[in-house]
Amino acid sequence: MKAFTWVGRIEGVSYLLLFFVAMPLKYGLQLPAMVKWVGRGHGLLVVAFVVTLALAARASKWSARRIAWAFISSMVPLGFVFFEASLKVDEKRSPA
């Protein structure tokens, strides 16, 4: 689960960098290489996210709804923050 949350955080930050740094540099300053490199890194992180999502879902026996929520939240800027918060709420609810 730790790997999943860390990959989710890093992937989320790379998404923010792509949208709010690389894209403005591409269209504002005509630097398309920024999107190329940041986009490649983000793409690799998305693959890592999906793999760790599958592993975490299997280990934690998540429902299809929870898996969908995790995946959809990864497509929204800062969505990973809300998904991680929902995980913490569930941890507090379930007995250890």
Mean pLDDT of 43-49: 96
| pTM, two decimal places | 0.86
95 or 58: whose pLDDT is higher? Answer: 58
Task: Tell me what pLDDT residue 95 has.
Answer: 63
pLDDT of 6 higher than 60: yes
The DSSP line for the chain is -HHHHHHHHHHHHHHHHIIIIIHHHHHHS--HHHHHHHHHHHHHHHHHHHHHHHHHHHHHT--HHHHHHHHHHTTSTTHHHHHHHHHHHHHHHS--
Number of domains in the chain: 1
Question: Which residue segment(s) compose the domain that 6 sits in?
Answer: 2-93
Confidence at 44, pLDDT banded by 50, 70, 90 = very high
Confidence at 96, pLDDT banded by 50, 70, 90 = low
1 or 24: whose pLDDT is higher? Answer: 24
